[in-house]
Structure 1
Amino acid sequence: MVEHKDVREVPVIPDTRTTEQHRREKVSHLEKTFGGKDKGAQKSPAPTGQQLSNIQADWWSDVNRWIRDAQRWWYDDMQRMKNSILALAPADEYDLDPTHMFGPMGIFGPGEDLSAVMRKMSRQMQALQQMADQEMVPVGERHAIVPEQSRMLDFLKDIYELGDDGKVHFKAQFNVDGFKPDEVKVTASKNRLNVMARSQKKTATSEHKRELCRTIYLPPSVDQEHLQCHFMHDGVLTVEAPLKGPDYNRLTFDKEHHLGIRPVGTGHEQSQDKSIVLKPTGHMGASVLQDGEHKKLHVEFPVEKGFDAKNICVHPESNEIVVTGNQESIEGEGMNKSIHRKEFRRSYTIPETVDPLSIHAQLVDNILVIEAPLIHTK
């Protein structure tokens, strides 16, 4: 990885596999390596690196469920992945000359980095919307890659995925079809991942330039020093990195493989961050609270008795926070055995999509309290 002060250039590595081939290989590797680990039957030695033995059994149960669902619902899973691929927008003068917006070599000024990223993302959303209005984007792809202006952070719900090592990774994919690997440049700095694609074709009588760009917010949990970038054979650019010390006691996946958060509850594993204590306000539903110089989302509602914190999942969707819960109880034995299952789902409209890893949730006396910082809302 090439670095210039606070800006890292991530080498673009050509890959002969398609996106689907790469995913098939990953699912197969995960099944061979971690299949059955939740039952104490890991099939091959654990990979080296961060201690995996310290991760609780609930996580390995989630990993095995992720693997089974990926194999069972392959078509749906691939369709969701394709819908999450980000389009590049036409580059403007600020993209072509980063000193307008970010200073020399794209370095942000003190205190201006996040607002600058939001402004750039907003301009690109407007450009993509104009492309859609002019029917330059296929109709079937509009909803996936051209969200409404208020939804420019929607990609956050899709950027965490299970990695080859059985841990959660940051993963963003971009449409670079029509470009060559050496025509794409990827850079990262505080709060920002930038993809620039440029091609130039000359003939005896004409010259054609194509310049596209996409900038997205890069969450602080991403280990930028280990970013990797692969240019897949089908024109998809995949940027991936491990996370910095995620707390697997509180991580899970929903039914569509979106990363979710388990609440902290009395009698269960506690979060690694002991400093975070959420307090009910008595105001049921969703609200936005002042948090120093910033704002945060606050949600609270009563949960029926009998639901354990470990069986509740909190995850963001497009401008919503969604909470699901399920609980099973078994009564009797043999022919008299019966299984009772209870489920619930609640959703609340919020000003913007939040980073799943920034969500904190606690179950306090059957009141579920959820908080998350808002990145863009003023």
Structure 2
Amino acid sequence: MSSAQRRSLPVKKRDHTFEQYRRNLFSDLEKSCGWTPTLPAAVPRPSGPGLWMTEYTTWFPQVHRWLEESQREFSRDLALLHDGLFELEPLESFGFAPGQSFFEGIRKRMHRLSEDLDQYLGEAQERSGEVMQVDDAGAVVGQPTAAAGEFGFLTDAYEVGPDGRLMFKARFNTKGFDAGDISVSTEDKKLVVHAKKTENKDGAICSREYCRSIFLPEAVERKDFQANLTTTAEDGCKSLRWFNSF
């Protein structure tokens, strides 16, 4: 793919913390899907932005129960989300050849993994309908978070968005970097997060440069991506959240 086909998107810094984002997500779902903690067993017809879900008699009850579970297990889920952040890697670990451009090095690295991706996606396709499951009691059953190799995150790469639609998401640990230090782009099947910070300490120039790239499923619409930078209240860890709905 040529550089003209590469898409760069802005990183937006959010004033609220990651914890507040999760609470806002629940609140938005309550509004768009017509959910409240005191709803009867019968599932109501959603209105407004959630109206599209009237066609999905199976999906909406699962969203309803997922909300109840998530509200109840808020602290536990936050810990799991924090543990699942992608860590940025020092640029020198990529093994770039002398004179090789940044994006050319990334392209070659990702190409070496493309055959593994095709194999993994072929196996995962059989599980594509199992993003959310319901147990005998009607509760949403989470999918495994650990899977083989570079593509394990694909088994846990989706969550319900504010409008009740399923969203692809990826979260990166960007502690130590501000929004202006981070560039995000998509190219072909990959998402690239590049962070660089240069500081002057006692007259000496100190530069840190990190990168992380992941594969994107074919169903994900690149043009709809958003990148938001938030901070966790517990330890100040900055999380870059990259997501879209489909």
Q: TM above 0.5, one fold?
A: yes
What is the match of residue 19 of structure 2? 20
1:155 offset after TM fit, Å?
A: 1.4
User: Does residue 240 of structure 2 align to residue 242 of structure 1?
Assistant: no
Q: State the shift of 1:216 in Å.
A: 0.7
Supply the distance in 1 between the matched residues of 2:54 and 2:45 (Cα, whole angstroms).
Answer: 11
Is 1:45 aligned with 2:48?
Answer: yes
Equivalent runs, 1:93-132 vs 2, <5 Å: 94=96, 97-102=102-107, 112=111, 115=114
Question: 1:44-63 CA deviation, whole Å, 9 max, x = no partner?
Answer: 42358xx4333x21111100
Paired-residue identity, %: 26
SS of alignment partner, residue 169 of structure 1: strand
d(CA) in 1 for partners of 2:40 and 2:210?
44
CA–CA distance in 2 between the matches of 1:162 and 1:207? Answer: 44
* Residue matched to 2:171: 173
Aligned partner of residue 80 in structure 2, secondary structure: helix
Contact 2:229 2:240 in 1 (8 A): yes
CA contact (8 A) 1:230 1:239 kept: yes
Partner of 2:84: 84
Alignment-derived partner of residue 9 in structure 1: 8
Secondary structure of residue in 1 paired with 2:87: coil
User: What does residue 31 of structure 1 align with?
Assistant: 30
- 8 A contact 2:184–2:194 mirrored in 1: yes
- Partner SS state of residue 153, structure 1: helix
- Does the aligned pair in 2 maintain the 1:117–1:192 contact within 8 Å? no
Show structure 2 runs of 5+ residues with no match.
118-144, 233-237
After TM superposition, give the deviation of residue 117 of structure 1 in Å. 9.0
RMSD, aligned CA = 3.0
TM-score (ref. length: structure 1): 0.49
1:94-144 deviations in whole A, cap 9, x for unaligned? 3962224528xx9x8xxx5863897xxxxxxxxxxxxxxxxxxxxxxxxxx
Any conservation in 1 of the 2:190–2:213 contact (CA below 8 Å)?
A: yes
Shift in Å at residue 14 of structure 1? 0.9
Taking structure 1 as reference, are residues 6 and 192 closer, same or farther at Cα in structure 2, changes over 3 Å only? same
Cα offset for 1:158? Answer: 2.0
Q: CA deviation at 1:37?
A: 10
Look up the equivalent residue of 1:88 and give its one-letter code.
L
Distance in 2, matches of 1:88 and 1:237, equals: 11
Q: Does the 8 Å contact 1:117/1:217 carry over to 2?
A: no
Using the TM superposition, give the Cα deviation of residue 43 of structure 1 relative to its aligned residue in structure 2, in angstroms. Answer: 5.9
| AA at the equivalent of 2:103 | P
Alpha-carbon separation, structure 1, partners of 2:42 and 2:239: 36
Partner of 1:304: none
Give the TM-score taking structure 2 as reference length: 0.73
Cα distance per residue 1:286-341 (max 9 Å; x no partner)? xxxxxxxxxxxxxxxxxxxxxxxxxxxxxxxxxxxxxxxxxxxxxxxxxxxxxxxx
Where in structure 2 are the equivalents of 1:1-378 lying within 5 Å?
5-34=4-33, 35=35, 39-42=42-45, 44-47=47-50, 51-54=52-55, 56-92=56-92, 94=96, 97-102=102-107, 112=111, 115=114, 151-203=149-201, 205-234=203-232, 235-243=238-246
| Post-superposition offset of 1:18 | 1.0
Structure 1 residue 5 displacement after superposition: 2.6
Q: Aligned partners of 2:226, 2:116: CA distance in 1, in Å?
A: 21
- Paired residue for 2:126? none
Structure showing greater Rg? 1
Q: 1:100 to 1:29 in 2, by over 3 A?
A: closer
What does residue 283 of structure 1 align with?
A: none
- Runs (5+) with no aligned partner, structure 1: 119-144, 244-378
Distance in 1 (alpha carbons) for counterparts of 2:70 and 2:3: 39
Deviation at 1:78, TM superposition (A): 1.1
In structure 2, the CA distance between the partners of 1:23 and 1:87, relative to structure 1 (3 Å rule), is: same
Instruction: State the 4+ residue runs in structure 1 displaced beyond 6 angstroms.
Output: none
* 2:88 partner letter: L
- Greater RCO, CA 8 A, separation 6+: 2
Encode CA deviations 1:24-74: one digit per residue, 9 max, x unaligned: 1101221232116994524642358xx4333x2111110001100001111
More strand, by proportion: 1
Q: Work out the CA distance in 2 between the residues paired with 1:113 and 1:31.
A: 44
| Higher mean displacement: 37-46 or 224-233 | 37-46
